Every structure is written in structure tokens, then in C-alpha cells.
Structure 1
């Protein structure tokens, strides 16, 4: 991962990045309404004058994430990058970090001059943007082409007081590492990413952090303990399902949060098979499990004082002679039954088991699930926004606030009481996937049934659309986004110990 260091007096700077902000109320055309931000570096007057003279000729120089380059042959520094930071808040600096990472992709080392009065949160945003936008997932034999790893290996942040920003940079590093881990898990092809493989990755990652424990339930144990939903969905595959339970239990913790993530390592749709185009990206159908696992590891790395348990129900949904069928009745952990109406609505079946287990056995104070659950999520909210469901205003507002601070969008959706009637089955407790419409809403209502007595402390995030990016967009790169890790870590950091 890119090295980012705090320095006071950088020497031998070849590539210098200077921050630029819009000028409020300026009369000039929009592209010229920007000014350099004074930094901690004592820059030569001629360099400051040169940069200032360039601004009126640049495209949107103060807009957050916009980076303009100036080449200075035979001068030092020989390359100058003018990076827009918007209003200078954390979000603006995060966008700037992403823009700088892309603009400096061919540099080996750059120095970013930081304003004297900038808040530590801004440095956190800058570092997160740099680390996340420089992420690459590669399995190719060659490192050439548009997806090749960037040459940029080192970023020096020139600050007046390194200790003021040390904690913010350390936090950004953990958040970025956790998000990148979730991206790695999600990007890995399903030919490798079996439920057993995923469980092994969790065990290996947890081994690096004191205080984390892992319990993996394999098929025989799942059957003995009554996890009928996980077994049904995984029954058509030669790769047996798993339930991974990852626990962070700091001494003295008074609050216990359980995070549940959908972990379908590949989804063909089962007997209700998807068309080819619908399967191409189904390696991402375990993005929720990746997010809750990575966030729990991040909580341990940050030493958060809250107890966190992540549950990742893992299965591969395949068609075969042993696959479950439309019309089958599945008995979940705890006894509730579901009539399967569509084997391509499999994620909610594995989540139902994990939610019921969490309520009965783990007794959490708060219960949150993340899932790449429905295509209806993107129809309603587009590609960058998750759908949030909860009956509790306080919990919903806290997670929405964390998502906003983290730069991950979410929008609260309704849970209409009358829609719950759609779940009624003639032969089971519930239909798994009613056909009346409102797909994302009804899926959330279904999951709420398994929250039992904790439904007033339960929250569901349908993050199917924002779990994947079709191209570079801010701190996102093409492929898995790791959506939810940053939001969960922000939210967990607000919980009392």
C-alpha cells in the first residue's frame, strides 16, 4: 500500500502539490475563481507568483478533486500540481486525495503542502482519498495496461506540527486497509472464492490482531444446529456452505453490536437461473459479508471499546440435483419457516438464519445487516446510494450521519405496515420473495421478521448497487468498492464502550 508520511521540512522535492480553493463571490468566470491556500512551506515568491498566474487559465482549479499539472523544465520543483480542495472540509480533501493519486500515477514520490490551520479530519480525508484511489486488484501476468498499479510509492505531507495529525493519519490507514481488504475479497473470482476459502481468509486476517476470535461452522454443524436457510441455498453446490463468526471483545465493553453480512460467493440464481449477463458480476454477491468482516477487523485495529460480532453466512447458489426448488419450505434457525418463491432470492434466506441466531444466542444491543440484496435498490436510488431501513429514528440517523461523514451515500426508505401482508404464505410462516413489487422494501420487511425482539434495534442496508463501480469515480476505482466498511467504522467509533 502507498506510503504516506508526515514531514516538517521536505528536501529535494521534484513534484509539489499545492491546494487551491474557490474564491467566494468572485466576479471572474467560474474557472478563474480560485486562489492558492497558504501552506506551512516557505515557498519562493516566484513559485507562488507563477502558480497564481496560472489559475485563471485552468479548468475549475478550485473544485474538489480537480488537479492541474504544470511542467517546469530545469527548475525545482520540476512538476507542480494544483489540487482543488473545494471548501476545505474532509470531503473536499478526500476528493483532492483521489484526484492527486490519479494525476500523479506516473510519479514515484510527491510532496503535498498542507495549510497551517487545516483540521486533522482534513488530513484523514486526504489520506483516505490517496489510499483508496490508488487501489488496484490484479491477477494478470503483466503489469501493463490501464489497470496497472500506479508507480506512485510515497507521499510526503508537509505539515507544521506532525503530532497534531498523527492520530488522524493512523485512523485513515486502518480505514483504508480495511476497505481495501473488503475490495480484495469481493474482487476475487469465484473459482477461488469458495465459502471455505473465504473462511480461511478471515482466519488469516484475524490472526494479526490480538483480541479477535473466529468460529467457523461447517455443513455438519450447521445441520446439527438447525441453520436451514444456509444449508438450503448451499445445497446445490459441491462447495459446502459455512457460517463465520468473528468476534472482537475488548475488556470492559458495555455495548455489543452484531453485524451480519450476506455472503453468497457466487449466485447463478439456482434453479431460477439468471441469464448470462446477470451472472457476470456475481462474484460481488458477498460484498456485505466482506464489509462486516473488514469493519470488525478494523474495529480491533483501532482498539474501539465496543464489542463487535460479525456473522458471515456463506454459500454458493448453484443449480443441481441437490439444489433447493421454488415451492420448497425452509426451516430457519429458531424455527420460523419460509416458502421459497424464487431461488434467486437466496440472500435473505442465509441472512434470516444469521439474524435469528444473533437474537437468540448473542443478545446484542444493536443489530445491523448489510447485503447486496436487490436490483430494486439501484432502480430506486441509482449506483452510488444504499437503501437504509429501520424502525428506529435514533439508529437510522446515527448510521446516516456516519455514512455522510465517511463519504458513502445512504437514503432511508419506508417500512410500510400494510406491505407486510405480502409475506403471508399458505403453508409456511413467510413467503421468501413476494411478487407484488416494492422488492427492496419487502425484502427488508422479510428480514425484520427474524430480528424478533430486537426489531426496534435493527437496521438493514441494501447496498447492492454501490458495492460495485463501473469506473473510476472519486476515491472509488473500477470494481469492488468495499462499500459499508467506512460507514460502519465511523458509526462504531461513536458507540459507548
Structure 2
């Protein structure tokens, strides 16, 4: 088995065809061919298009239902072995479509992807649906057909044998191509997040950024520890000073063809804590097990920037990766320390395990002072409070602009990555007051830990339009189910791409 390139995950070759299904099957090698068709909830499990296509390909739709009684629950699969010579396929996969809403179709695609892993050829018959539904079906198929990579025998190996080729009947080639590219962006973020922290540190992430930037036509600048010190990035230096591997910041730049001074400029900032022990206020052992994924925000920003050219994003995008390892040592920063951020704002450290907002503050202040963006969005696995509030299926979004919040939430609905608006409560700001510095970075006296974290970050964006996505809940999955593999989920990657694609 060939080694896996973490920055180019193994996926099937996907193509779109107009059909009819019978012609597609006739043109295909039946040796290891799986045909996937969807089954609807309701009185008639077949939509008219699927019924006609199956009949034209030599199947009896009513006999299939009577004999196999397939589940119509979104993503459920029923695998039917077809005797050799009886049909031009080896396996018929019946996948539940639920009500055929985009979310159901994404789950259906994921179920089909899992059921057809390792097949040489898969023909997927798309049901009648709109463009978001067709794209969701393909995205789900790519995500479900993949499994987390494994380190074995001295190299990375694919976590599952993906299908060789997938032909989607009834979906335009451009829709297929763009959906696959969005899904691959999520997979790149997952691979980076799932890499063990004895391999992954700030320097390693910076190297991945250089490699992916070179492949994707991005401008890449890396600040090492000396450059961070010279530039006054005291937050990154403080969080990283307890580690044997120094902190770094990476700046990635994408400029569309034909851009000029009037082209809008977006800055994306990602939290990049490559391992979080909690620092001197050390986490419980169980709390550390998933902390290799605490740099998911930076992985998402890197993956999104790398996809901008292929998806034809029409705005300028700058990505900032705030990278550090939060460790325990004699040189680690302490509760009660005062940190001076980029630009001069000082922060009293209230908890060394609330380090993510400290590194983000430097990057946000730099973006405001030096990059002159029209809008800034940060994404981070930031607070346990967000996970407690919304569990694993959605993330809070905070914004200083209602239109920006609405745009991001709409993009999330299209991508199947739901955001829920949370308030920046003015009364909670006084909980962040400090006797010795400009601000304290935690506000334990009021609760609402996700809100006070967002209020802290707002101090560093000036008057910019800004939004903060706290993905601590949906950023990780404990199971390989639905569109998620176990580990880092890459939640937010497709959402941000959909948002960027809609900007002009």
C-alpha cells in the first residue's frame, strides 16, 4: 500500500455524468462495480427518476423493495449481492435518503461511501434534488469513504482502502468537482489535527504550511521565536516558553487573478496549540487525550487557504496560524504573570489552561494593526463551556456585525456545519478587569466561559468587522459515524469555503 500524503488525502476519482443509467452501466467494467441508489421516506420509496433509471437498467424496483425491505433512514445502507451474469453490477447498495433534504443527502453520501470502500468502481445515482443537495451527496460520499490515516511500518498509511472511481449520474461535473474539493479541504484539516503531537509541533506545522502553500500558489511567511520576540508577540512567546519546541506564527496570502485595491480583504485566524497540557494548571490525564487536536483552528485555516485558488475565490484572503505548545516546565508561564501582546495591550494570566485566547490575541492585534482587513474571522477549539452549551453538533458564533453573523450561519447551513448565534454581553466585560494589567483573560466570577473568552478576543480587533467561531464541541468526534471520522472533524472548513465563495 502506498504511503499517505497527509496534505493530499486518498480519495476516489470522482466524475459526473448525465446518464441515462443504463448507458453508464453498459460503458463500465462489471467486474467489481457497485451501484448505489437512494430510498426515500414516505409512501413511495422511489422518486420517479430513480424508478425509471432502475427499470431502464434491468432492475425491478418493486421486487427490490419487497425482497430486501431497505431502511429509508438517512445514511442507512442495505447491501444486495447480485449473482454473476444476472446484472452488470456485482453489488447493489440501497441507501436511505430520509426526506432528501441536503443534510439527509450528506448522510446518505457518507453511508454510501462507507459501504463501497475498496470497490474498483462505484456508480452513484443521484435523486432529484437541487444543487445544494447534489453537492451535499457528493461531499458526504468523499467524507464517508475516507478513514483517519494510520502511522504504521514507518510511514503514514490510508485508514481505509477508498473506492477507485465514483461516477455520479445526474450531477453536473462542475458541481462534483467543487464538492470534492471542499470535502478534501476538510480531510486535510483532519489529517493535520489527528497527527500525534510527538510528530507535530509548531515547526512541523510551519513546514506543512510551506509545502501546501507552494502547491497552492500562496505567499508564506513564518515568524520563528526570534522574529516573534523582535515583533513583540508576547502572547505566543508566553504560552510557548515552557516547551522544548518554540512557538511560531505563519502568514499565508491568497490573491485572486485581477484583484485590485477595491478587492475585499478577509483575514482568517486559527488557534494552533499543537499540544495542550494545561501548562502549570495541568489538565487531568483524561483531559489531555484529545489535545493533539487543539490546533484544529490552524489546520482549518491552512486547508481553506489552500483551496481558494481551485474554487476561484474572488476576495483576497490572509491566513494567520498562531502556533505554540503549552507544556509544563521550569520556564512555563505562570498564573498571575502579565503578558504584553502585539501592539502593547497587557494581559494578566488568570489560568494557564486558557492559552488559546492568549495566542489568538497576538494574531488578531497584528491583523488589525498591519493587514487592514475588511473583516476578520477566527476559529478555535477554545472553551469547554461552548461544548457544554451546545454539545457536539453545532458551534457558537460571536460577531460584531449582524450581517456577518447571518452570512456565516447561512454558509454553515449549506455546508452542514451549524452555527448558533451567541451574545457578546456587555455586562460580562467587567469580569475581565485586572488590577495589574489592561485586562484579565478569564472571568470566572460570571460564568459563561465561552462568552467571556469572546469578549476578551474582541479587545484585540479594534473597530474591524469580526466573528469568532468556538468549535470546541464539533471540532472532535469520538466515533467514526456519519460524515465524521474519529478524531478531529475539520468542522468549519467547508463552512468558511462556502462563505468565501459567496463574497465579491
| TM-score by shorter chain over 0.5 | yes
Report the equivalent of 2:213.
206
Structure 2 residues not aligned, in runs of 5+ = 1-10
Partner of 1:234: 240
**Which of 138, 141, 145 pairs up with 2:152?**
141
Tell me the residue number matched to 1:265.
274
Offset of 1:136 from its aligned partner?
Answer: 2.3
Query: Would you say the 8 A contact 1:236–1:322 is kept in 2?
Result: yes
Whether 1:73 and 2:83 are equivalent positions in the alignment is yes
Structure 2 residue 467 is the aligned partner of structure 1 residue 459: yes
In 2, the alpha carbon distance for the partners of 1:148 and 1:220 equals 39
* C-alpha contact 2:149 2:191 (8 A) present in aligned 1: no
Map of 1:407-426 to 2, 5 A cutoff? 407-426=416-435
2:109 is aligned, of 76, 94, 97, to 97
* 2:383 maps to which of 374, 381, 384: 374
Distance in structure 2 (CA, Å) of the matches to 1:260 and 1:178? 16
- Is 1:38 equivalent to 2:49 in the alignment? yes
- The alignment of Structure 1 onto Structure 2 pairs a total of residues equal to 476
Match of 1:108 in 2: 120
Shift of the alpha carbon at 1:87? 3.3
Aligned runs of 1:402-441 on 2, under 5 Å? 402-436=411-445, 437-441=447-451
Shift of 1:103: 1.7
Counterpart Cα distance in 2 of 1:197 and 1:491: 29
Change beyond 3 A, Cα 1:468–1:184: same
Residues 46, 350 of structure 1: alpha-carbon distance in 2 compared, 3 angstrom cutoff: closer
Partner of 1:360: 369
Segment drifting more, 104-113 vs 380-389? 104-113
> 2:34: which partner in 1?
15
CA contact (8 A) 2:97 2:108 kept: yes
Alignment of 1:47-86 (within 5 A): 47-49=58-60, 51-55=61-65, 61-74=71-84, 75-76=86-87, 77-86=89-98
Aligned-partner Cα distance in 2 for 1:40–1:246: 49
Please give the per-residue CA displacement for 1:193-213, whole angstroms capped at 9, x wherever unaligned.
110110000110111123x10
For residue 315 of structure 1, give the secondary structure of its aligned residue in structure 2: strand
C-alpha displacement of 1:16:
1.5
Pairwise CA RMSD: 2.1
| 1:181 aligned partner | 188
Deviating more after overlay: 259-268 vs 102-111 = 102-111
Distance 1:94 1:169, change over 3 A: same
Q: 2:134 aligns with which of 120, 123, 146?
A: 123
Distance 2:167 2:468 in 1: 40
Pick from 445, 462, 473 the counterpart of residue 455 of structure 2: 445
Q: Deviations over 1:117-172 (max 9, x none)?
A: 544433322221111112223334379xxx9413522212234xxxx712111211
Q: Please list, as runs of the form range in 1=range in 2, the aligned pairs for 1:181-330 lying within 5 A after superposition.
A: 181-210=188-217, 212-250=218-256, 251-252=258-259, 254-330=263-339
Counterpart Cα distance in 1 of 2:111 and 2:247: 41
Q: For 1:18-60, what per-residue CA distance to the aligned partner results, in whole angstroms no more than 9, with x for missing partners?
A: 222223xx4xxxxxx52355249754469542x3234256566
Contact 1:40 1:114 in 2 (8 A): no
Q: Deviations over 1:438-459 (max 9, x none)?
A: 11111011101111121xx111
Normalised by the size of structure 1, how large is the TM-score?
Answer: 0.91
Question: 2: distance between equivalents of 1:411 and 1:19?
Answer: 31
